[in-house]
Amino acid sequence: MKRSLLRSLALAAAVLLLAQGMSAASGESGKNENEPFKRLTVDEAEKLLADPNVRVYDGNTDEVYLKGHLPGAVHLLSRDMKEGVLPADKETVLLFYCHNER
């Protein structure tokens, strides 16, 4: 189930990685030099999810989040991202995803 959820999220092109210093761990493909974000493939995301130090955030609506989310993902909407909500350690890898249902 986790892999199928990951696959549908990747197809929606909504899996983003916000990281400082992560280029060596996941490569530079899909990265725009002007943005701190990077789109991930399913395999890249799955590799990151295997690391217990990666923090995963689900940016979906309440309804979509309750229907199903990655195990351990914290429900966090972009409007709720404020100082103190994300880890203080700037080296922590943050994986954000959302999926728009149509």
pLDDT digit string, tens, across residues 13-39: 333 443 333 443 444 445 556 677 788
Residue 67 counted as domain residue: yes
Residue 34 counted as domain residue: yes
The pTM for the full model equals: 0.65
Instruction: List the one residue out of 4, 3, 16 whose CA is nearest residue 56.
Output: 16
Residue 48 counted as domain residue: yes
Residue 56 counted as domain residue: yes
User: What's the total number of domains in the chain?
Assistant: 1
Give the per-residue pLDDT at 19.
Answer: 37
Residue 102 counted as domain residue: no
Residue 23 counted as domain residue: yes
Residue 73 counted as domain residue: yes
Q: For residues 98 and 14, give the distance between their C-alpha atoms in angstroms, rounded to a whole number.
A: 6
Give the per-residue pLDDT at 90.
Answer: 86
Is the confidence at residue 42, as pLDDT, over 50? Answer: yes
Task: List Cβ neighbours of 101 (8 Å cut-off, separation of 6 or more).
Answer: 64
Residue 46 counted as domain residue: yes
pLDDT tens readout for residues 3-16: 555 554 443 333 34
Domain that holds residue 70: 2-82+89-97
C-beta separation of 62 from 50 below 8 A: no
